[in-house]
Amino acid sequence: MLDFAKFTKYSRPGPRYTSYPTALEFSTDFAYDTYLEKLKGQDKKRPLSLYFHLPFCRNACYFCGCNVVFTSKEDKKIRYIDYLKREMDILSQHLDTSREVIQLHFGGGTPTFFSAEQLDEIITAIKSHFPNFAADAEVSCEIDPRHIDEAQMKVMSEAGFNRVSFGIQDFNEKVQVAVHRVQPYDITKNAMDLARKYNMVSVNVDLIYGLPHQTLETFMETLKLAVTLNPDRFAVFNYAHVPWLKKTMRKIDETTLPQPDEKLSIMQQTIDFMENNGYRMIGMDHFAKPEDELFKAIEKGELHRNFQGYTTKGGADLVGVGLTSIGEGVDYYAQNFKDMPSYEAAIDAGRLPFERGVTHSADDLIRQHVIMELMSNFKLDINRFETKFGVKFDEYFADALDELQPMVHEELLEIAPEKIECSPTGTLLIRNIAMAFDAYMKKHAGNKKTFSKTV
């Protein structure tokens, strides 16, 4: 096994780059009226990708970094559905909702805390507001295997959902107890059987490494159990520990978290294990079978990274509906209010619940291209970059290239006149490599309470 001790120095706070600029740069300087103009000005030939945030959960998993509202009250859910419908009503005044929809994603929270009837009601409302779904649209939902029944899976399948993603996180009991998420294997297996019975085209499962009490040995046991479920894709996320942002993370005893060298070896062994079991790595944290359409996208240079992970469907404008949802256009990101009272008040006033965002400068777009290419493909085609932006790469990024020299010496990446390419070990440190191209890093450098650690 590789000696990872020498790389533990790279364990430092850094973004996960689901966006560039990152969410830390979103601000209320991006005014509501500017947002409306952006929506109105969109190229109507570009398709839409819709994200719906369904934020409710009953109990907190202590590791959870998602935007969640903990409740078991039925009236809160009914009320939320009403606001979603009204948000779509307002959206249709500002956006051409007859545009083709090529993606719809339900994220959470736990979308399946809504009953089969409620899910049906939400989907019906979406289709009446957005009538033009592509025949091959990707329609997906995040599912907690502890909260899914056949009626819900049936409703989703009949409504055209063709992808599901199950949260597993870890199968080890001691780990499950420490993170307050006890989920026996049989429950996950039943959920998987339901997805297959209803012919989901693609089933993803989520795991997390870096959780309390995990060791290389326990995580390999989790992987062995997980492959018996035969999912089409795996996400294996690095635990983002940000207790200053998420109160429930304070219930995790930090002395029980695996150390950076152990985490690096877990990731390395995960990659080996996946490759020996018929999966290949796709970008950071993701694995799929070699016949997966994502690999064809890589060959064509068409793999895209967005807030939901990796996708073949680029070239769409992303519209986020619901609490905290994020939208993305060619030159902006826009995020809805994160607290329910403000979200509701905006809609009550007949306005979109938009709170903040960021518009992209020419420099942002250049850096975004480089960072997203590295995060998706672990390499950058410099000729393509120069043709696209009309700037000389080595002149524009002289500082970044200097900063990366120590990593070049450690054989984490290669920098040639026509390309940058990560080595297999370099892929484990891709966030650190991407950070060299991030113009906002210096601003956050002294502040430890920003991002989670890269390792």
Ligand X SMILES: C=Cc1c2[nH]c(c1C)Cc1[nH]c(c(CCC(=O)O)c1C)Cc1[nH]c(c(C)c1CCC(=O)O)Cc1[nH]c(c(C)c1C=C)C2
Residues that bind ligand X (CB under 6 A): 15-16, 18, 23, 65-67, 107, 237, 240, 242, 307, 326, 451-452
Residue with nearest beta carbon to ligand X: 65
Two structure tokens written together for 313: 């469907």
Binding residues for ligand SF4, rule CB under 6 A, total: 11
* Residues forming the site for ligand MET (CB under 6 A): 66, 108, 110, 142, 144, 167
Residues 58-87 that bind ligand 5AD (CB under 6 A): 63-66
Binding partner of 60, given ligand SF4, ligand MET, ligand 5AD, none, CB within 5-8 angstroms per partner class: ligand SF4
Size of the site for ligand 5AD (CB under 6 A): 12
The interface mask with ligand 5AD, positions 319-338, x = CB under 6 A, is --------------------
Helices (H), 159-259: 173-178, 185-197, 216-228
Distances (CA, A) of 401 to 21, 200, 437: 20, 45, 9
Rounded distance between C-alpha atoms, residue 237 and residue 30, angstroms? 31
Minimal distance, residue 307 CB to ligand MET, in Å: 12
Angstrom distances, CA of residue 176 to CA of 137, 141, 179, 339, 396: 35, 23, 5, 29, 48
C-beta of 7: minimal distance to ligand SF4 in Å? 29
Considering only 108, 231, 320, 322, the residue that binds ligand SF4 (CB under 6 A) is 108
In 3D space, the residue among 259, 251, 249 whose CA is nearest the CA of residue 215 turns out to be 259
Residue with Cβ nearer ligand MET (110 or 157): 110
- Nearer CB in complex with ligand SF4: 109/329: 109
In the list 57, 141, 195, 380, the residue contacting ligand SF4 (rule: CB under 6 A) is 57
Cβ 99 to ligand X shortest distance, Å: 21
Beta bridge mates, 333:
328, 358
Cβ atoms 185, 171 nearer than 8 A: yes
CA distance 30 to 38: 11
Both tokens of 433, joined, read: 């490599």
Which of 212, 426 has the CB closer to ligand SF4? 212
The CA angle 18-11-181, to the nearest 5 degrees, is 65
C-beta of residue 332 within 8 angstroms of C-beta of residue 41: no
Instruction: Kindly state the smallest distance separating residue 145's Cβ from ligand MET, in Å.
Output: 7
How far is Cα 382 from Cα 107, in angstroms, rounded to an integer? 35
Q: 426 to each of 4, 48, 110, how far by Cα in Å? A: 12, 35, 34
* Segment 335 to 374, residues that bind ligand 5AD, using CB under 6 A: none
From the list ligand SF4, ligand X, ligand 5AD, none, pick the one residue 239 interacts with, judged by a Cβ distance below 5 to 8 Å according to partner type: ligand 5AD
356: nearest Cα among 12, 32, 8: 32
In the shown chain, the binding pattern of residues 201 to 240 toward ligand 5AD, with x for contact by CB under 6 A and - for none, equals: -----x-x----------------------------x-xx
Kindly give, in sequence order, each residue whose CB lies less than 8 Å from that of residue 306, ignoring residues fewer than 6 positions away.
18, 19, 49, 318, 328
Q: Would you give the binding string for ligand SF4 spanning residues 160-179, x where CB under 6 A is met? A: -------x------------
Evaluate whether 396 touches 417 at the Cβ level (below 8 Å).
Answer: no
Q: Which is nearer to ligand X, 81 or 240 (CB)?
A: 240
Query: Quick one: what does residue 15 bind among ligand X, ligand MET, ligand 5AD, none, with the CB cut-off 5 to 8 Å set by partner type?
Result: ligand X
Give the integer Cα–Cα distance in Å for 240 and 249. Answer: 10
- The binder of 219, among ligand MET, ligand SF4, ligand 5AD, none, by C-beta within 5 to 8 A per type, is none
| CA separation for the pair 443, 22 (Å, rounded) | 13
Q: How far is the CB of 32 from ligand X (least distance, A)?
A: 18
Taking the complex as a whole, how short is the minimal distance between the CB of residue 389 and ligand X, in angstroms? Answer: 26
Closest CB 235 distance from ligand 5AD, rounded Å? 6
* Nearest CA-CA partner of 323 in 357, 354, 356: 354
What does 23 interact with, of ligand X, ligand SF4, ligand 5AD, none (CB < 5 to 8 A by kind)? ligand X
Q: Which does 63 bind (CB under 5 to 8 A by kind): ligand X, ligand 5AD, ligand MET, none?
A: ligand 5AD
User: For residues 16 and 213, which CB has a smaller minimum distance to ligand X in the complex?
Assistant: 16
| Residue 31 C-alpha from the chain's centroid | 26
Binding site for ligand 5AD (CB under 6 A): 63-66, 142, 167, 169, 206, 208, 237, 239-240
